[in-house]
Amino acid sequence: METISCNLCGSNVSIPYIEVKDRFTKELFHVVCCSNCKLIYLNPRPNKEHLQNYYPQQYEPHHVPLTDSGKWHQHRMRQIQLDYVEKYHLHRGTLLDIGCATGEFLAAASERGWLVKGIELVEDAAQIARSTYGFSVVTGEVEMVLTENNTFDVITLWDVFEHLTNPRQVLQQCFTALKPEGKLVIAIPNLDSFDRYLFGKDWVGWEVPRHLYFFSKDTLIHILDDTGFNLLGEECLVGGKGVFQISLASKFQGSSFARLINKISPIILATLWPYRQFAYHLNKGPVITYMAQKRLL
């Protein structure tokens, strides 16, 4: 374990915020809030050498959907994400997906005419992207492998930013890698979501120790501004169904209701469709996406 200072302002002074158990190992982790800038982060946290041990085989983002309904849902989700990208970037150019996992977003973007490249930390997931789609996917920590200069029109970080050990450095590297006025897309857990208050410590948005930082809108704008980006927009796009399902399972894990909840979860999720749409409309969904633009110097 390592103790860190605030990645936003550098302060070493923080106050306890919440204690959360890893849903896989049941270890207890401490989330703190910076006394100066109010950034929320995991401290102490596993060091880089041990962090990979907390990504088990059953970790959902590293799995390819096997059922027809799962494949359809994922395809629909990727189309919504691309629609959002193209709302702000009208012509299709070069796109880098950081944390591309098994390559489904890259595949959807490529089908629309984007020239794509991926970065992925986990070799097994990256190899699936390479063997299935033939894409160029670099394996390793973003800080070590993102070396391009003035190359990409768009860089996306779908559910990745909260996993980074040094988000400030990665944003600085994204600034260098983007073309002038290039776009940066960041999807992160929404601290202002209905689900966070509904599930409390069982909200999967905490997801310790895989999630290392938890940005509010204010702290995200702060770090974007510090690294040369202007915020263009924000919207809850996708993710509500899956996040709610995992949070619900965590809430009742180990209880006498767990088997029943798992059995009827499709009914619960279908019934709560209006709730998810209402949350999206108010930007209170569990995942929120921000669009930023590289500022001209």
Between CA 123 and CA 138 the distance in angstroms is 9
Q: So where are the chain's domains?
A: 14-294
SS3 235: strand
Q: pLDDT for 72-126, tens place per residue?
A: 778 899 999 999 999 999 999 999 999 998 999 999 999 999 999 999 988 888 9
Q: pLDDT for 236-259, tens place per residue?
A: 998 777 788 788 777 777 666 667
Residue 49 has a pLDDT of 85
- The CB density around residue 102, as the number of other CB atoms within 10 Å, is 26
83 torsion bin: left (phi>0), alpha (psi -120 to 50), beta (else): alpha
Fold of the CATH domain 14-294? Rossmann fold (3.40.50)
- Under the banding of pLDDT at 50, 70 and 90, the label for residue 265 is confident
**127 within 8 A of 101, measured Cβ to Cβ:** no
**163 within 8 A of 214, measured Cβ to Cβ:** no
Q: pLDDT for 3-26, tens place per residue?
A: 999 999 999 999 999 999 999 999
| Phi, psi for 256 (deg, rounded to 5) | -70, -15
Average model confidence (pLDDT) across the chain: 91
Residue 62 has a pLDDT of 61
As beta bridge partners, residue 16 has: 32
> Is residue 69 predicted with pLDDT exceeding 90?
no
Q: Enter the pTM of the model.
A: 0.92
- Under the banding of pLDDT at 50, 70 and 90, the label for residue 38 is very high
Query: Mean pLDDT across the stretch 130-147?
Result: 93
- Under the banding of pLDDT at 50, 70 and 90, the label for residue 266 is confident
Q: pLDDT for 96-107, tens place per residue?
A: 999 998 999 999
- Under the banding of pLDDT at 50, 70 and 90, the label for residue 53 is confident
> Is residue 211 predicted with pLDDT exceeding 80?
yes
- Under the banding of pLDDT at 50, 70 and 90, the label for residue 180 is very high
